[in-house]
Structures are given as structure tokens and as C-alpha cells.
């Protein structure tokens, strides 16, 4: 994954290339070249590209990795206060706890709107198949975290033990 330091280096190179095209465009205007307006367009594009690369160098691209967490996929996210993640039906209680903590850290964004309450609620679910052709969503746990504080000391994780116990009953059927 490209780091913010690499984006800063890319923006520096892009700035130098932009400067080179600006000089070339100025020479083109001085010598009345036929491509002088195209050089202005290329210079403008390079300046916009440089600005974008510089902006990407300011934003950290970090994902929290919690030991014991399993892969999950976000199946619903309203961009505000609610999200749902899907986990494998073979997840254990300790893995689910770590996965909910990791999801809470990775889905935090100061840009989420908390119009009702400044709390992000993430639910974890899996799909069980009790019969052929029947799919049942099973909600395994929930995490509540602040939308205002990145390192939330009041984050709460609730695991639904009854539903975790149901997972072992289905074993290979799911």
C-alpha cells in the first residue's frame, strides 16, 4: 500500500514536471509554436494532479489490525451512525470480539454525520442455512463507539452468546 510519505514524494516530482511544462509553454508562446495552447492544457492538468497527490500525502491511510480478528466485509453502511459487517459462520467468540473492535476502528471517520446521536453502531452478522433453500441472518454482536473521538475509551462491545452457541450446532451445514 502506498504511504503518505510516498504520496508526498510523488507530489514533489509532479510539481517539478508541472514547472517543466510551464516553462515549455512559456517558450512555446515566445516562439509562437502551434502546440502552445496544448502545453497550457498539459500544464494545468499537471497542476491539478500535483494538488491531488499533495492532498493524498496529508491524509493517513491506516487500517487498525487487532490480533485475533478475522476477515469481515461491510454489507451495510449508511455513512452515518449505522453499519453491518458479515463474518464467517465459523467465528468464535474471541475472534468476534477482536473483529468488532477492528471494524470499529477501521470504520471510524470524522466525516460521519451523527444527527440523532454521536454514536456509531456496528452489528456483526452471519448467514445460516437451517434447511435447503432457506437462509437465516444471525446477528452475533454489536459495538457502539463515539463518532467524535478516534481513540474512544467508552467503546462497548456486546456479544450475543446464544447466537454464537447456535453456530456450533450448524457446523458443516452453513
Q: Which of 120, 174, 124 is nearest to 152 (CA)?
A: 120
Among the listed ranges 32-36, 56-60, 61-65, 143-147, which one has the minimum average pLDDT value?
A: 61-65
How many angstroms separate the first and last alpha carbons of the chain? 34
45-60 in b/e form (b: 16+ CB < 10 A) is ebbebbeebbebbeee
Interval 61-81 mean pLDDT: 86
Segments forming the whole domain that contains residue 117: 73-173
- Strands 82-86 and 119-131 come out as parallel
Q: How many domains does the chain have?
A: 2
Q: What CA–CA distance (Å, rounded) separates 2 from 57?
A: 10
Under DSSP, the state recorded for 147 is S
Mean pLDDT of 144-151: 85
Encode pLDDT of 95-127 as tens digits.
999 999 999 988 888 777 756 678 889 999 999
Q: What is the pLDDT, as a whole number, of residue 116?
A: 65
134 Cβ contact list (under 8 Å, min separation 6): none
Decide which of 101 and 59 is more confident: 101
Question: Does residue 123 sit in the same domain as residue 38?
Answer: no
DSSP classification of residue 152? -
Task: Tell me, yes or no, whether 77 and 161 share the same domain.
Answer: yes
Residue 96 falls inside a structural domain: yes
User: For residue 171, what pLDDT band results from cuts at 50, 70 and 90?
Assistant: low
Average pLDDT, the chain: 88
Question: How sure is the predictor about 60, in pLDDT bands with cuts at 50, 70 and 90?
Answer: low
For residue 125, what are the β-bridge partners? 86, 139
Mean pLDDT of 89-99: 92
Verify that 82 and 46 share a domain, yes or no. Answer: no
Residue 121: beta bridge partners? 82, 144
**Residue 64 counted as domain residue:** no
What cell numbers appear for 150 in the block? 478516534
Q: Cell 516553462 maps to which residue?
A: 23
Task: Say if 83 falls within a structural domain.
Answer: yes
Amino acid at each position: 500500500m502506498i504511504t503518505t510519505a510516498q504520496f508526498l514524494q510523488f507530489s514533489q516530482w509532479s510539481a517539478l514536471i508541472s514547472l517543466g511544462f510551464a516553462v515549455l509553454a512559456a517558450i512555446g508562446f515566445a516562439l509562437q509554436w502551434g502546440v502552445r495552447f496544448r502545453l497550457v492544457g498539459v500544464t494545468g492538468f499537471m497542476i491539478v494532479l500535483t494538488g491531488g497527490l499533495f492532498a493524498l500525502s496529508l491524509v493517513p491511510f491506516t487500517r487498525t489490525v487487532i490480533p485475533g480478528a478475522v476477515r469481515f466485509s461491510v454489507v451495510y453502511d449508511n455513512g452515518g451512525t449505522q453499519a453491518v459487517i458479515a463474518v464467517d459462520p465459523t467465528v468464535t467468540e474471541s475472534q468476534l470480539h477482536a473483529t468488532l473492535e477492528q471494524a470499529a476502528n477501521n470504520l471510524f471517520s470524522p466525516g460521519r454525520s451523527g444527527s440523532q446521536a454521536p454514536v456509531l453502531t456496528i452489528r456483526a452478522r452471519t448467514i445460516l442455512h437451517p434447511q435447503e433453500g432457506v437462509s437465516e441472518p444471525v446477528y452475533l454482536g454489536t459495538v457502539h463507539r463515539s463518532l467524535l473521538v478516534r481513540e474512544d475509551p467508552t467503546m462497548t462491545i456486546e456479544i450475543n452468546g446464544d447466537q454464537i452457541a447456535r453456530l456450533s450446532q450448524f457446523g458443516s451445514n452453513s
